[in-house]
Amino acid sequence: MQPIDGERLNEEVADLYSEYLNPGLAKVFRFAGLGVESRAEGCYVYDATGRRFLDCLGGYGVFSLGHRHPAVVQSVKDQLDRMPLPSKIMFNEPQARLAAKLAQVLPGDLQYTFFCNSGTEAVEGALKIARKATGRTRIVSTLGSYHGKTFGGLSASGREVYKKPFLPLLPDFEQVPFGDLSAAETAIDEKTAAFIVEPVQGEGGILIPPAGYLRGLRHLCDRHGALLIADEVQTGLGRTGFMFGVDRDGVAPHIITLAKCLGGGVMPIGAFSSTPATWDAAFGDNPLIHTSTFGGNQLACAAGLAALNVIESEGLVERSRTMGQLLVERLRAIQDKFNGFITDVRGLGLMIGVEFAEPDYGELTVTGMIQRGVIAAYTLNNPKVIRFEPPLIITESHIDEAARAVEESVLAAQELVVSIA
């Protein structure tokens, strides 16, 4: 067999992107010096030339268990040999077992789960059942939020640039400042179906609300008969050093959305779960009021079940907290050296943001990190902030490797900025 010529493959695939996928994106990847990803294992991704990258982005929160966790891969392989996709007309065992396991780990009395295939679908479903369960239409969300790019998810999201070209979006959506309880109090009333919120805003720039914010939102929703939806697509399952982001406030929402790492980094899956009362009000008179052909498929649910078991057996929630503290300390030390260039380092668990004085500084730093073999990215709604969401299995030596690349990249970026000023 001919050995693969990695450089040629990189060129060929980049050309295919330009011709058939997305010329703009092809330009961005080329500019950043990114090639074809061809293999991944643990905390590392390898490109077609064999170059190794430490994955500090973790697929925006997908790879909490690292890449190709053996327990998840095995469980998916076993399921593949039996039945990968559902007939839809019989009971589906992996789906039932995953729903039961989720009910065990979810906060409060969240009990019933609907499975879909992505985060934005989970949000769509959550918004739909909130409207049906309350008989109301108003949805309140937060500025800078990200809930996906389908019409419902986009209507709830808080960044104009992604919304404007598609107006009019869904009616009766309103946004209030994130972390501001008195703004929420003004917005939530007897017309409100739901308040949807991320426990930590991910794409908004890794923004952590004041402690008590989510608890306060739950009180406000209860007072007015509205539902609290926690969008934990990014924060869920250990990312923040808590099993769920809402656990930081010791509060349970009426509905929660999950996706990203629920599939263990091996299969795509999304889900929303609700309390029995909300569920009954939404599905009680018609169990098929919301459905999905591929949602709850056996392959994805087998991956989900294995992923939840790994999160527990490997103590990944605690690990997220301790490794997160370590990474924040290392990044703060770099901030101290480059004060003014880096303006803030913040995080909860292994959901960490580094804010730069200018978006360009962050972009230059990300590019420098990629050149040094470490993957990170800026946040979609706040390009001044680059984020670190590495696998929760990350070790101290990986953190050393990442910190070294950040420091060298910040130094190079600062020198470049000074030289062209």
Residues that bind ligand PMP (CB under 6 A): 60, 118-120, 123, 146-148, 198, 202-203, 231, 233-234, 259
Residue 272 or 279 having the CB closest to ligand PMP: 272
Is residue 417 classed as helix, strand or coil in its secondary structure?
Answer: helix
- How far, rounded to the nearest angstrom, does the alpha carbon of residue 14 sit from its chain's CA centroid? 26
DSSP assignment string, 291-331: --SSTT-HHHHHHHHHHHHHHHHTTHHHHHHHHHHHHHHHH
Closest CA to 156 of 182, 180, 174: 174
Alpha carbon of residue 74 to chain centroid: 24
R_g (Cα) of the chain, nearest Å: 22
Nearer CB in complex with ligand PMP: 124/355: 124
Least separation in angstroms between residue 235's CB and ligand PMP is: 7
Beta strand 227-231 pairing with 173-176: unpaired
Strand (E) or helix (H) holding 133: helix 119-134
CB of 123 or CB of 302, closer to ligand PMP:
123
Question: Which is nearer to ligand PMP, 43 or 123 (by Cβ)?
Answer: 123
Those residues whose C-beta lies under 8 Å from the C-beta of residue 340, and which sit 6 or more positions away, are: 357
Rounded (10°) CA dihedral 390, 393, 394, 397: -170
Rounded CA separation 12/96 (Å): 44
CB of 234 to ligand PMP, least distance (A): 4
* Closer by beta carbon to ligand PMP, 118 or else 134: 118
Which residue, 75 or 141, is less far from ligand PMP as judged by CB?
141
